[in-house]
Structure 1
Amino acid sequence: MGKIARRTLDIAMAVLTLILMGGNGLFYSALGDLFDGALDSGLIHEILGVVLFILWMVHIFWNRAWIKGVLNGKYNALRTVQTVINAGVIVCVLFLIVSGVMLSNHVFSWLGIESGASFARNAHMLASHWYLVFVSLHIGLHLSMFIKDRVAMGIVAALGAYGIYAFITRGLWKYLTLQQPFFFLDLEHGYLLFALDYIAIMALFAMVMHFVMMAMVKYSR
């Protein structure tokens, strides 16, 4: 498959990740007025979640050669880190789809799952935030493939620096450690700031992984 198709898929997955991080409340806050309260934010969240899962299946299929080679060859530090990160993404995706199905009030409601809601909510919130971290690290592994211009890389680095502030003020560390029992969507300053903060957080982890990978490559020579 061509590079354009692969890059388009990667961008679509990143955008959907950002949108879904807003939870159900994002769609109600951003679009509810346009539909005069008739918009079912939960349904949209579930549909987009299924779409993201399908895109992941396509992504995995296109990169099936990597999966087949996991048990082959020797492992150095860099390959070990890459494997752990990729495995982390896959585990989070699986937890998200399973917990999402358990919590579904629309797309999968026909399954009639009525038990385990408390576990599913905690698992979904925990997996979604660790998913954001692992996906960002995954992007960092391939950042030099996406961004070759020094100015663009500098912009990403600046975003990453702001991401430290966003990570703290948005309280993501609480979600990653389950110290926050429920997801709080703060749209007091609008959706654009919410999106910027989460883009910056993704840039933060991507840049950290990028520099770690560069150091590994340098000192492994």
Structure 2
Amino acid sequence: MPISAKIRMPLDIAMTVATLVLMGGNYFFESTAVHEILGVVLLVLWAVHITLNRRFFLSLFKGRYNVFRILQAVVNCGILLCAIFLMVSGIMLSNHVFSWLGIESGASFARNTHMLASHWYLIFVSLHIGLHLSLFIRGKVATGITFALAAYGIYAFIARGLWKYLTLQQPFFFLDLERGYLLFTLDYIAIMALFAVAMHLAMTAMVKYSR
């Protein structure tokens, strides 16, 4: 088995964990430096991920497109676009890793951009997982747990007010500390499951009715 094939799954898991931790903003750590460093680590992991899957991006303007390929292109390009905005806004807001650049203007724009891009990034990553969900969940138990999480994800999406972040109706990120970090993580995992399952079901339906 090629080395690239061996590291794909650990890489995807590491990226998902990093994403969930970063979604907690600076609430998880006393120092904002940890958030910045982890953000850089995630970008490095994305660079590795894109390198491993470079054939997809190199073939974007080649061949014919079917429904699956269109969705894959939209979702993957959405992730890439969000990652670029996160990187630029993160550098502008940096107080540690990139503070040597001396960027002092545009903080308000960068803060809004960072919050908007981070939540859309979560949605696109979840949809990306949904495109390949059949590779991750196998068996009735795993399927049942995933669908149960997705059902709870509807409540979590509303309770956490994600739609407000996605439309910039919430001017700042808020983590309800009374609900705790564990429940926050569970809620966001459930939200990811919700969009992943929604994409999986949509793809299944399209394949079924296109025959």
**CA positional deviation for 1:134:** 0.3
Q: Distance in 1 between matches of 2:6 and 2:137?
A: 14
Q: Distance in 2 between matches of 1:214 and 1:3?
A: 26
Corresponding position of 1:81: 71
Between the two proteins, the alignment pairs up a number of residues equal to 209
* 1:112-131 alpha-carbon deviations (Å, 9 max, x no partner): 00111010000000000000
Kept in 2: contact 1:129–1:175 (CA 8 A): yes
Q: Distance in 1 between matches of 2:194 and 2:188?
A: 10
Between the aligned residues of both structures, percent identity stands at 70
Q: Distance in 1 between matches of 2:34 and 2:104?
A: 21
Moved more, 53-62 or 3-12: 3-12
Kept in 2: contact 1:26–1:185 (CA 8 A): no
Correspondence list, 1:70-109, <5 A: 70-109=60-99
**Greater than 6 Å deviation, 4+ residue runs:** none
* 1:126-145 alpha-carbon deviations (Å, 9 max, x no partner): 00000000000000001111
Letter matched to residue 70 of structure 2:
T
TM-score normalized by structure 1?
A: 0.92
Q: Distance in 2 between matches of 1:2 and 1:88?
A: 24
TM-score normalized by structure 2?
A: 0.97
Correspondence list, 1:21-170, <5 A: 21-28=23-30, 40=31, 42-170=32-160
* 1:153-202 alpha-carbon deviations (Å, 9 max, x no partner): 11000000000000000000000000000000112121110100000000
Per the alignment, do residues 3 and 149 of structure 1 end up closer, same or farther by CA in structure 2, a change over 3 Å counting?
farther
**CA positional deviation for 1:2:** 4.2
**CA positional deviation for 1:3:** 3.2
Task: Provide the alpha-carbon RMSD of the alignment.
Answer: 0.9
Corresponding position of 1:200: 190
Q: Distance in 1 between matches of 2:173 and 2:50?
A: 29
Secondary structure of the structure 1 residue equivalent to 2:103: coil
Corresponding position of 1:6: 8
